[in-house]
Amino acid sequence: MNPLARGHGLVVQELEDELLLYDTKRHRAHHLNQTAALIFCHCDGVRTVAELAELLEAGAPLEARIAVVEETVRVLARKGLLKDPRMVAGVPRRKVLKLGAAALALPVIRSIVAPTPAYAQTALPNGAACTASSQCASGCCCNLITGAVCQDMVLCVPGCLG
Amino acid sequence: MEQLNRLGWAEGIAVRAFGVSVGVRVTDAAALREIVPLLPPGWRPAPPLVRVLYSYVAGGDGPRRGVRRMHLLYRGSALLAGEPAPEPVLDKLEVDLRQLVALASPNRVFVHAGAVGWNGRAILIPGRSVSGKSTLVAEFVRRRATYYSDEYAVIDRRGRVHPYAKPVSMRDFPGARPVDVPVSAFGGVAGTEPLPVGAVVVTGYRRGARFRPQRLSAGAGALELLQHSVAARYRPQRILPALGAATAGATVLRGPRGEAAEAAERILEEVGQE
């Protein structure tokens, strides 16, 4: 089955050659870089993976380009951005690079959970899960083995995240 | 609400801020004088038909000796606060008013961010409370940047940033109660005109860090702003185009910072290169 981008429940904002997507069902926002945006925009259910690969820069071998598309489609499906969310067998990123995809701008899809009004502005208390120190009231997102949590700087032995 | 309406209301005020009309009524006229400075920046008097009505019931000595009445605050018919002292209730009113305007504004996108003007363009510093925004904003203002806000970057649909010039909230240490400092104390002035965005700086204080930012794309910058947008979940159809317009052509920098002076200098260097 050829990949088909989801149409309903998505707010799409074009930013030059990138895309910003907002999933109104899951309240998640996604930023697609140039390569990921190009592939997403052409997932029309008609083009095959090989045809999508032909859209990418011709500097890399076709096999590498197909691997890049497969990986992108897999990630798009996992994030619920394709109409048929069944997983496509993707190629691990390391293997994609080995195939000679270095000449390509690799796809990057960064996602966030859209904030609630309170979360958009409130600093997290100690013990709350975090991804960056700026989220914490203490100013330190401590990178513990069990996961990053907000903690007082002086008590954070492994060190604070950026 | 009917029970509330039956109370004796001494005075009230109806205002409009960023397209949101709000009323506050009080049982004691003296309380209104304390409330007016707490109204959202940029407010103007409005007709009395308002979207949201706050009711402040002043407490104090009761009818009998030894009995004190609580100071109460309602939004509509919902009790927001009830305290023996007026200060925490007035604090709650101030915060709630700002959040309401930020959430309900029909024509502006409120992003939790510091904002200053520099060479005709705005520098935005998105981040939650206690991430060091106000300190960095104050440092910019000391360097002759124009003050726009240390709380919300108010963005219109064309991506321009409008002033939200409340006093700068400074804390002595993380978790300390913030103290409002007028921007003039830093030798600065507040902006009056909307500005296009020149830079988005995603940073937070980390002791001992040097500010060596990574450059991000405009799209990544828009995602960072979305992460701090108050109404992100409610109006993505309006917010995404505004953030897209704001970050188009802007420099986007990300990285932890140490001291504000070093970071401000580096940011101005980076912005100046554009």
User: What is the structure's pLDDT at B2?
Assistant: 72
Least confident of A11-15, A35-39, A101-105: A101-105
Q: Look at residue A12 and tell me whether its pLDDT is greater than 90.
A: yes
Region A47-52: mean pLDDT is 92
Instruction: Report which of residues A118 and A39 the model is more confident about.
Output: A39
Average pLDDT of adjacent 10-residue blocks, chain B of 274 residues: 78 94 93 93 91 90 78 92 91 91 94 94 89 87 93 96 85 66 81 95 89 94 95 93 95 93 92 66
Q: Look at residue A89 and tell me whether its pLDDT is greater than 80.
A: no
Instruction: Report which of residues A162 and B100 the model is more confident about.
Output: B100
User: What is the structure's pLDDT at B61?
Assistant: 76
pTM for the model stands at 0.82
Q: Which residues of A touch B237 (CB under 8 A)?
A: 11
Q: Look at residue A128 and tell me whether its pLDDT is greater than 90.
A: no
Which pair of tokens denotes residue B216?
């991000």
Would you say B145 and B183 are in contact if contact means Cβ atoms under 8 Å apart?
A: no
Is B255 in Cβ contact with A117 (below 8 Å)?
A: no
Q: Which helix (H) or strand (E) holds B72?
A: strand B71-75
Q: Which residues of B touch A18 (CB under 8 A)?
A: 217-219
Contacts of A111 (CB under 8 A, 6+ apart): A28, A29, A30, A31, A79
Is B131 in Cβ contact with A135 (below 8 Å)?
A: yes
Interface residue of B20, B97, B100, B128 to substitute, partner A, most A CBs within 10 Å: B128
- What value does the mean pLDDT of chain A take? 81
Give tens-digit pLDDT for B149-189: 989 999 999 999 999 988 777 776 655 667 787 777 778 88
Would you say A106 and A35 are in contact if contact means Cβ atoms under 8 Å apart?
A: yes
Is A123 in Cβ contact with B130 (below 8 Å)?
A: yes
Size of interface A-B (CB pairs under 8 A): 130
User: What is the structure's pLDDT at A92?
Assistant: 61
Is A139 in Cβ contact with B222 (below 8 Å)?
A: no
Q: Which residues of A touch B209 (CB under 8 A)?
A: 162
Q: Which residues of B touch A27 (CB under 8 A)?
A: 233
User: What is the structure's pLDDT at B223?
Assistant: 96
Q: How confident is the model at residue A135 (pLDDT cuts 50, 70, 90)?
A: low
B218 has a chain A CB within 8 A of its CB: yes
Q: How confident is the model at residue A39 (pLDDT cuts 50, 70, 90)?
A: very high
Instruction: Report which of residues A41 and B273 the model is more confident about.
Output: A41
| DSSP conformation letters of chain A | ---BB--TTEEEEEETTEEEEEETTTTEEEEE-HHHHHHHHT-BSSS-HHHHHTTS-TTS-HHHHHHHHHHHHHHHHHTT-BSS-PPP----HHHHHHTTGGGS----EEEEEPPPTTTTTPPBPTTSB-SSGGGBTTS-EEEETTEEEE--GGG-SS-B--
User: What is the structure's pLDDT at A77?
Assistant: 92
Give strand pairing partners of A147.
A144
Closest Cα in chain A to B101: A117
Structure ipTM over 0.85, yes or no: no
Q: Which residues of B touch A20 (CB under 8 A)?
A: 219, 222-223, 226, 240, 243-244
Region A15-23: mean pLDDT is 94
Would you say B102 and B54 are in contact if contact means Cβ atoms under 8 Å apart?
A: no
B134 has a chain A CB within 8 A of its CB: no
Can you tell me whether residue B133 is helix, strand or coil?
helix
Q: How confident is the model at residue A60 (pLDDT cuts 50, 70, 90)?
A: confident
Closest Cα in chain A to B132: A134
Exposure b/e, B138-160, CB count within 10 A at least 16 = b: bbbbebebbbbbbbbbbbbeebb
Closest Cα in chain A to B229: A120
